[in-house]
Structure formats: C-alpha cells, structure tokens
Amino acid sequence: MPYQYMVLCCPSHFILPGVPVRARLKKLTIQVPEELLARATAASGEGITPTIRRSLELMAASAAYAKLRKLRGKVKFGIRLAELRQD
C-alpha cells in the first residue's frame, strides 16, 4: 500500500506537507555558516527547513546516481535509440 501524503499541518502532530504519514521525523540542531545557508535558501526559494530537507534528499540520491554511473556501458538493451526516437 503506498504512503498517504498530508497536505495540511496538524498542530498536535508532527505531520508536514509532502512527508509520508508513516515517516518518522528527527529534530536536529545544526550549525552552518550563515552565508552558506543564505545561498542555499535563496537558490531553493524556500525556508530553512525545506532547504535542509531537500539538500539531504539530494545527498542521499547521489549514492544511487553513482551506482547508475558505474553501470554505464554495461547494460545491454534490446531496442536501439533510433527506434525509441521514432514516433
């Protein structure tokens, strides 16, 4: 069964927009350079929490991207790129 997503925050629970209901949240206290935080929030156009959350998601995804890059040229496909491009 896929996760259900909440859109509204409930003041009595830690339910955040776009976060799966079953996800457990961890409260963090971090120290980061002010300039880095300002650049990151400006680049994301979001507040501090969404910016940090997105940064963590991107960092976690980078390991998967690295594994995919290692497979480059090693996976054989049964269809050619030219055939895929034809509509």
Is residue 62 in a domain? yes
pLDDT of residue 54: 92
- The residues, ordered by sequence, that sit 6+ positions from 40 with a Cβ below 8 Å of its Cβ are 51, 55
Contact 24, 33 (CB under 8 A): no
| Domain total in the chain | 1
Percent of the chain with pLDDT over 90: 32
List residues bridging with 20 in a β-sheet: 5
pTM over 0.85: no
Is residue 42 in a domain? yes
Q: Rounded to an integer, what distance in angstroms lies between the CA atom of residue 78 and that of residue 14?
A: 47
Residue 79's pLDDT band (cuts 50, 70, 90)? confident
Is residue 68 in a domain? yes
Phi-psi region for residue 17, left (φ > 0), alpha (ψ -120 to 50) or beta?
A: beta
Residue 19's pLDDT band (cuts 50, 70, 90)? low
Q: Tokens 């457990």, residue?
A: 24
**What integer is the mean pLDDT of 3-29?**
59
Is residue 28 in a domain? no
The answer, yes or no, to whether residue 55 has pLDDT greater than 50, is: yes
Is residue 22 in a domain? no
Domain residues for the domain of 54 are 34-74
